[in-house]
């Protein structure tokens, strides 16, 4: 998270959807990753519908991978790039990010083939359910994430602590 509300790329107010889909800079990334035809609703759906419809999409992209994989990797690359822009002052063009996304997709697909594994489509209704299950009473569940800026030599992390049933207990960051 940054300590300002504006998008670092275009200076407009930054919502989640703006950061990963609607920013003019991000639009160039989405139009640069291969998909036979981005549906007309791609830039209209709300966040939940947009994520679900794309994570359910099993269309093959250039014989490379399912669109759901490319979609997830693209979002991750856009978010990482946004954070590098803010915290490391590292700026690359969307046209340079797209080949990196494709290279990462190829690496993942190659690794899965070498390991003779299959891509687990977590969100597909016919796939086995992979999820967190409630633990025994007395246990807590902790989700955490962190970031480190090389240029500023600053690190930050946050944690969310939930009880054995997944109910929120408390959160903290430093």
Residue 21 lies near Zn ion (rule: CB under 5 A): no
Minimum Å gap between C-beta 78 and Zn ion is 11
Closest distance of CB 1 from Zn ion, Å: 16
DSSP 8-class letter at 45 = S
Interacting positions 23-62 with Zn ion (CB under 5 A): 23
Span interacting with Zn ion, options 4-12, 40-48, 59-67, 95-103, rule CB under 5 A = 4-12
| Backbone dihedral region for residue 123 (phi beyond 0: left; psi -120 to 50: alpha; all else: beta) | alpha
DSSP letters for 87-103: HS-----HHHHHHHHHH
Alpha carbon distance 148, 155 (integer Å): 4
Query: Applying CB under 5 A, which part among 9-17, 38-46, 102-110, 126-134 lies near Zn ion?
Result: 9-17
Among 10, 147, 160, 161, binds Zn ion (CB under 5 A): 10
**Residues in Cβ contact with 9 at an 8 Å cutoff, skipping those fewer than 6 apart:** 23, 24, 25, 26, 82, 85
Size of the site for Zn ion (CB under 5 A): 4
> Which one of residues 7, 65, 69, 75 is an interface residue with Zn ion (CB under 5 A)?
7
- As beta bridge partners, residue 154 has 149
Binding site for Zn ion (CB under 5 A): 7, 9-10, 23
């Amino acid at each position: 998270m940054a300590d300002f509300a504006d998008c670092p790329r275009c200076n407009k107010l930054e919502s989640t959807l703006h950061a990963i889909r609607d920013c003019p800079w991000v639009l160039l990334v989405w139009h640069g990753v291969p998909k036979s035809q981005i549906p007309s609703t791609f830039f209209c759906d709300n966040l939940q519908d947009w994520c679900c419809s794309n994570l359910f999409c099993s269309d093959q992209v250039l014989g490379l991978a399912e669109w759901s994989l490319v979609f997830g990797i693209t979002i991750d690359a856009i978010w990482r790039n946004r954070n590098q822009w803010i915290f490391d002052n590292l700026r690359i063009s969307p046209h340079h990010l797209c080949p990196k996304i494709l290279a990462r997709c190829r690496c993942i697909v190659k690794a899965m083939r070498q390991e003779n594994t299959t891509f687990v489509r977590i969100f597909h209704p016919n796939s086995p359910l992979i999820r967190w299950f409630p633990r025994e009473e007395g246990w807590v569940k902790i989700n955490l994430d962190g970031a480190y800026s090389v240029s500023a030599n600053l690190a930050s992390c946050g944690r969310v602590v939930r009880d054995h049933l997944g109910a929120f207990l408390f959160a903290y960051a430093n």
